[in-house]
Structure 1
Amino acid sequence: MRISADHEISYRSWPFYWLARASGRYRARMEELLRPTGLDMARWRVLMTLHQDRVASVSEIASHAIEKLPTMTKIIQRMESDQLVRRQPRPGRERVMEVVLTEAGELAGEQAWEAATALYGQAFAGMSASDIAQLTALLERVAENLNGAPSAESP
C-alpha cells in the first residue's frame, strides 16, 4: 500500500490498525472487568462522563460517549429505571434534560473506576507520564483532524 510517492506502508505500520487493536482489546478487557459490577460499556461511558462533569444533558453524554442520541436516550432510560441516574429539566432551558447520578450511580461509578484504574495501569505499564501525555495529545489531534469533511490538502 502506498500513502504517497515516498511513503509505503504495511498494515502493521498503519496507525489505524493499532488504534483498532488497542480499542478492541480495551473494550474486551473493560467488559470483563465491568461484568461483576453489573455494568456494560455504554453505562460505563455515561458514568465516566457524569463522574467528570457531575451533570450533563443527554446529547452532551452522547457526544462524549460517541453514541447516537436515540441510542443514548434508551441507555439513560434503562439506567434511570435501574436508579443509577435521574433526569431533570435544565434550569432556564426546560426542554433540555440533564442527567445526574443517584447515590446508587455514584457507588456503581466508584466500582467501575476501580476496574478502569486497574486496566489503565496494565495498558500504560512501562510508560512515563510524558509518554502518556504525548500519546493523548497525538490521539486528540488525530480525532480533531478526522472531525468533519476531508480538506483539499488531505491525501
Structure 2
Amino acid sequence: MPAGPQNEADDADAFQMERWPFYWLTRFTGSYLHRIELGLKNIGLDVPRWRVLMSLRGREVLSVSEIADHAIVKLPTMTKIIQRMQADGLVVSQQSAADGRVTEVRLTPAGREAGEQAWAVANRIYRRAFEDVGQEEIAALNQLLQRMTANLAD
C-alpha cells in the first residue's frame, strides 16, 4: 500500500461525515431495519425469526451453523432462536444422518406460510428502497458490497 492518504477518507483532517460511505451504509441499514421491524411486528414476527425464514427460503434444509452464517449471528444465539422457532411450530430440527455433530433445520408448513408473509413485507420495503434504482445499478452495488465484504474477511 502506498504511503500517505489514498483518498479523502484516509485524511483525518479532511473527514466529512456525509462523504464517509460507512455513514450512509449505517443510515440505510438503520432505516431498513426500522421498517422491517415494524412490518414484521404486524405479522407476529421479529428480525431474528425473519432471518431464519429467509435463510431457509427456497431451501430444503440448512444446518444451524449455515443459518447463523447467513444471518450474521453467533452460533449459540442462533441455536436459541431455532429453539424458540421450534416451540412456535415454525421449524423442526434434527441431527444430521451424515454427521451427528450437525443439527439440520427445516421449515414446517406454518414456517413456510410465515416465510411467505415475511417475504411480502421485505419485498415491499425492497421495492420502495430501490424504486428509482436500475437493475444494473443494483447489480453493481451487490458486486461492490461483495468485494468490500471480502476485503474485510478474516
After TM superposition, the score normalised by the length of structure 1 is 0.90
- Say if 1:5 and 1:117 are closer, same or farther in 2 by CA, change over 3 A: closer
Is 1:61 aligned with 2:67? yes
Richer in strand (by share): 1
Q: How many equivalent residue pairs?
A: 146
Per the alignment, residue 105 of structure 1 pairs with 111
Q: Which residue of 2 aligns with 1:132?
A: 138
Gaps of 5+ in 2: 9-13
Secondary structure of 2:80 counterpart:
helix
- TM-score, structure 2 length as denominator? 0.90
Cα 1:5–1:100 change in 2 (3 A) is closer
Match of 2:124 in 1: 118
For the structure 1 residues 125 and 68, does the alpha-carbon distance in structure 2 shift closer, same or farther, using more than 3 Å as the test? same
Identity rate, percent = 51
- 1:87-123 deviations in Å (ceiling 9; x for gaps): 0122211221100000000000000000011000001
Q: Quick one: structure 1 residues 41 and 127, their matched pair in 2 at CA, closer, same or farther if it must change by over 3 Å?
A: same
> Which residue number corresponds to residue 95 of structure 1?
101
CA–CA distance in 2 between the matches of 1:27 and 1:62? 18
- Which blocks of at least 5 consecutive residues in structure 1 are unaligned? 149-155
CA 1:97–1:12: 2 relative to 1, 3 Å: same
Deviation at 1:53, TM superposition (A): 2.9
